[in-house]
């Protein structure tokens, strides 16, 4: 799996903060996997609607999927749009799993009010490293700001994930094209390519 080779199943957690586009990203993953012939289930846990709270989507691809929710300790890959949210779900990871985290901090209100503290990078990395050394950080928010549209973050992160998935890049591009309205289609396809490049260079940098 770590080489981006085909695999039989992926159990994936996509996580972030309400408003970051987690649900759309996980929808596109599901649709792409269906197009590639997988059985797919996905489910979002939003708490009380989406009001800036923590969001997590479970996405499962396999020849046959039963439960829509993934069992603790058996997630193959965590795709996190925000650092604290990566740490929050780290216990779901299986030994040797992969984490891709947007190196971006959005302090919860309790942190702003001084009642709680935001974890340091070391604390976050340590939480993720409990199960694996495949811990990747990408500067997604920075890159999409350069691109000129922060709303493409979710598709940038999809690009990062796509490199580890058993699905062809062309299949990904087709579903992004299908899902995105015309006026933002091109910029999202660019964000997708940027994500692919970014994770490749981060990975090479590591090994």
Tell whether residue 109 is a contact of another protein (CB under 8 A). Answer: yes
Residue with tokens 């993934």: 70
Rounded to 5 degrees, φ, ψ at 32 are -65, -40
- Least Å distance between CB 74 and another protein? 9
- Gap between the Cα atoms of 62 and 27, Å rounded: 16
Query: What are the Cα distances from residue 63, in Å, to 41, 77, 135?
Result: 11, 18, 27
Tell which one of 107, 186, 197, 201 touches another protein (CB under 8 A). Answer: 107
The phi, psi pair for 155, rounded to 5°, reads -80, -30
| Closest CB 78 distance from another protein, rounded Å | 12
- Among 2, 110, 177, 201, which residue interacts with another protein (rule: CB under 8 A)? 110
Instruction: Give me the residue label for tokens 């981060």.
Output: 202
- Binder among 13, 40, 78, 144 for another protein (CB under 8 A): 40
Binding residues for another protein, how many (CB under 8 A)? 55
- Kindly write out the interface string for residues 150-189 of this chain, putting x where it contacts another protein by CB under 8 A and - elsewhere: x---------------------------------------
d(CA 154, CA 140): 9
Tell me the two tokens of residue 157: 């992160």
User: In the complex, which residues of this chain contact another protein (CB under 8 A)?
Assistant: 17-18, 27, 30-31, 34, 39-54, 65-73, 84-85, 87-88, 90-91, 93, 107-114, 116-119, 123, 127, 130-131, 150
């Amino acid at each position: 799996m770590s080489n981006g080779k085909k695999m039989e199943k992926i159990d994936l957690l996509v996580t972030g903060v309400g408003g970051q586009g987690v649900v759309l990203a996980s929808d596109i993953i599901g649709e792409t996997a269906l197009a590639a012939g997988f059985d797919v289930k996905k489910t979002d846990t939003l708490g009380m609607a989406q009001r800036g709270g923590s969001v997590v989507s479970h996405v499962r691809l396999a020849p046959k999927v039963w439960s829509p929710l993934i069992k603790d300790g058996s997630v193959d890959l965590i795709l996190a749009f925000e650092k604290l949210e990566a740490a929050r779900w780290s216990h779901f990871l299986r030994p040797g799993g992969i984490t891709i985290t947007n190196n971006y901090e959005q302090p919860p209100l309790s942190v702003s009010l001084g009642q709680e503290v935001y974890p340091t990078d070391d604390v976050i990395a340590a939480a993720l490293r409990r199960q694996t050394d495949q811990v990747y950080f990408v500067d997604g928010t920075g890159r999409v700001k350069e691109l000129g549209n922060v709303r493409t973050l979710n598709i940038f992160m999809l690009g990062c994930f796509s490199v580890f998935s058993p699905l062809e890049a062309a299949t990904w591009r087709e579903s992004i094209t299908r899902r995105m309205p015309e006026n933002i289609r091109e910029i999202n396809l660019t964000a997708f390519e940027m994500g692919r490049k970014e994770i490749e260079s981060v990975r090479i940098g590591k090994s």
